[in-house]
Amino acid sequence: MEEVFLEPGMLVRHPDRPDWGLGQVQSVINGRVTVNFEHAGKVVIDGSRIHLAPVEGAPPDG
């Protein structure tokens, strides 16, 4: 599996929680990824255990 490099501002989805909706990466520090999801709010994810799926071409909120 190819490693995905996440950075702030990227849009992602949680592979096991589609009900959380679209998320925007807020920060990536020591493998911990903070993501603000549409329906779950801010969640800190262990990037070594959960591989967030980048969303290409999604419109930004606003």
Residue-wise pLDDT tens digits, 15-40: 999 999 999 999 999 999 999 999 99
The continuous run of DSSP H or E covering 36 comes out as strand 32-37
What gap in Å lies between CA 24 and CA 42, rounded to an integer?
9
One-letter amino acid for residue 28 of the chain: V
Judged on CB neighbours under 10 Å (0-12, 13-18, 19+), 33 is: buried
Provide the pLDDT confidence category of residue 62 given band limits of 50, 70 and 90: very low
- pTM attached to this predicted model: 0.84
Distance CA 27, CA 22 (A): 16
